[in-house]
């Protein structure tokens, strides 16, 4: 009988303490609608000209300079989305195109028009998995906070790990370290009715230390539309081994991008 009582108590206590009963759904903010990037496509929203250069280590400064030299010769190095790879974390939060945020008690979804990417930020109290399967957007665990003490959640802190490469921070040739040990910390809060801010700190071995930006997004009220983005439809840039080509499908060939590089013509088109 005592055993049964303990079992019942345990079950009832367990139920009352379960996440389902403590979510208090009315506490979560409404961040719905369309959010558009404010500021530069450079990683610092104010642009490198105003913010100064990326805090690259000596090793990755050399990588950056090599990328500039390659680009000067027509080779599109250091910019993985050029071949339709997703931008990955943290670059996806630059939001080249608008994003939608869906807040639920267990998961906050960030849906980016750019490359039709989805981030899932788990807020159900879970711990890190034993093994993080590498993905371009990584694995994100978040926690809601009530910063102004009014009983409502107003800030979402996020930690993202397990991020797959290759990645660049933007399109300027600043690439993240090839060891893919990046950790991204974020604080998302609505700073006024029309503005959402993501304080993004990137910890990566390509940088001399944590690199924080304050990326803001405007709440769109006009021209709100969502546009499908399927990169394979119109991509021109093809990488074969170490060579880059530019697709000319009307002619059925791959055009060279650098001086002295031959056209790549299918064997069937070559006149004997």
Partner 1 sequence: MKTLCLLTLSAAALLSLTLFVDTASPHHSTAIYDSGNPVELRGTVVEWRFVNPHCIIMLEVIDDNGDTAIWSLEGSNTSLLIRRGWTPVTLKTGDEIVVTVRPLQSGAPGGNYSNPRWEDGTPVDPRG
Q: Which residues here bind partner 1, judged by CB under 8 A? A: 40-42, 48, 68, 71-76, 78-79, 81-82, 84, 96-98, 113-114, 170-173, 223, 225, 227-231, 233-237, 244, 246-251, 255-261, 263
Output 114 or 153, the one with its CB closest to partner 1.
114
- Which residue's entry shows tokens 């599109």? 76
Asked if 95 and 35 touch (Cβ cutoff 8 Å), the reply is: yes
Output 219 or 237, the one with its CB closest to partner 1.
237
CA gap 176, 100 in Å, rounded: 26
Q: In the bound complex, what is the minimum distance in angstroms from residue 67's beta carbon to partner 1?
A: 9
Tell me the pairing of strands 243-248 and 253-256: antiparallel
CA gap 41, 204 in Å, rounded: 20
Q: In the bound complex, what is the minimum distance in angstroms from residue 65's beta carbon to partner 1?
A: 13
SS3 assignment, position 97:
coil
Tell me the pairing of strands 117-122 and 139-145: parallel
Task: Report CA 118 to chain centroid distance, whole Å.
Answer: 9
Output 94 or 189, the one with its CB closest to partner 1.
94
SS3 assignment, position 92:
helix
Q: In the bound complex, what is the minimum distance in angstroms from residue 93's beta carbon to partner 1?
A: 14
Output 140 or 172, the one with its CB closest to partner 1.
172
Q: In the bound complex, what is the minimum distance in angstroms from residue 251's beta carbon to partner 1?
A: 5
- Which residue's entry shows tokens 């409502």? 152
Output 170 or 204, the one with its CB closest to partner 1.
170
Q: In the bound complex, what is the minimum distance in angstroms from residue 60's beta carbon to partner 1?
A: 17
């Amino acid at each position: 009988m005592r055993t049964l009582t303990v079992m019942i108590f345990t079950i009832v206590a367990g139920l009352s303490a379960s996440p389902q009963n403590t979510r208090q759904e009315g506490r979560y903010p409404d961040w719905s609608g369309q959010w558009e990037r404010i500021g530069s496509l450079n990683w610092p929203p104010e642009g490198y000209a105003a913010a100064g250069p990326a805090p690259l280590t000596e090793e990755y400064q050399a990588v950056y300079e090599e990328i500039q030299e390659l680009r000067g010769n027509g080779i599109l190095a250091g910019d993985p989305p050029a071949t339709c790879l997703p931008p990955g974390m943290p670059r996806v939060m630059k939001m080249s195109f608008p994003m939608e945020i869906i807040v639920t008690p267990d998961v906050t979804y960030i849906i980016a028009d750019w490359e039709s990417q989805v981030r899932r930020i788990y807020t159900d109290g879970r711990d890190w998995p034993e093994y993080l399967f590498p993905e371009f957007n990584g694995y994100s665990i978040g926690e809601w906070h009530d910063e102004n003490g009014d009983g409502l959640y107003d800030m979402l802190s996020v930690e993202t790990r397990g991020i797959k490469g290759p990645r660049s921070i933007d399109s300027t040739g600043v690439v993240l370290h090839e060891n893919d040990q990046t950790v991204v910390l974020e604080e998302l809060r609505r700073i006024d009715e029309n503005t959402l801010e993501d304080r993004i700190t990137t910890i990566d071995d390509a940088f001399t230390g944590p690199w924080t930006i304050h990326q803001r997004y405007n709440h769109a009220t006009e021209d709100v539309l969502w546009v499908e983005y399927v990169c394979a439809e119109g991509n021109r840039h093809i990488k074969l081994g170490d060579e880059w080509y530019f697709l000319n499908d009307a002619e059925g060939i791959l055009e060279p991008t650098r001086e002295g590089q031959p056209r790549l013509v299918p064997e069937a088109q070559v006149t004997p």
